[in-house]
Amino acid sequence: MAEFDIDAVMGILEREMPRYQQPVVDQMGAAAQTPFRVLIATILSLRTKDTVTAVAAPRLFAVADTPRTLSALSEERIAELIYPVGFYRNKARTIRQVCELLLERYAGTVPADLDALLAMPGVGRKTANLVMTMGHHLPGICVDTHVHRICNRWGYVQTKTPDATEFALREKLPQPYWIPINGLLVTLGQNVCHPTSPHCSTCPVAAYCARVGVTRSR
């Protein structure tokens, strides 16, 4: 099999994906939101539809948008503001814990350090990398289910988990694509390259795709 042409594929996606609705966290990053807002919005977005996060996050930030003001709210009030995001009660507790930790250890600022972010309650590699890239505009590769699925479907990587995909991409993905790959592939995954029965007939990068694991398409 010929080597996957990542430069051609990323060029096509950078041209074609802006016509689709963009992921909510990418919208927040583009709007010059603070690292703290990116952190909290990403926590809210986990296992929650973007359409829900896009309403819940601004509603929360309209009331409190700093670690100090948010930590002053009760868990019940935070849960009320972020409802109906998935696991909203657990997330309300996590958000207060994160705010308290930021105040205790970092004077209320979100650290620009991956390991420090990963040590926070409710923060996994996806969230930490999004804060690094969209919040601090530093190098990082955010891999969610779309990035993991599509990179394997292309045949660009051969991995079993999103974390393994992140480390594989750190080895081979040219660094100029590290930050944009998440937004582009989330957009592609939400609109075209679905988990089951992807729209291969209308995919702008179908000619480059090995269609690994695809048994049914449209």
Report, as residue numbers or ranges, the catalytic residues: 126, 144
| Rounded CA separation 168/64 (Å) | 38
For residues 167-176, one letter each, b for 16 or more C-beta atoms within 10 angstroms of the residue's C-beta and e for the rest, the string is ebbeeebeee
Residue for token pair 């393994």? 164
217: which residues sit within 8 A by CB, 6+ positions away? 197, 198, 199, 200, 201, 211
* Cis bond before residue 176 (omega within 30° of 0): no
Q: Are 200 and 218 in contact (CB under 8 A)?
A: yes
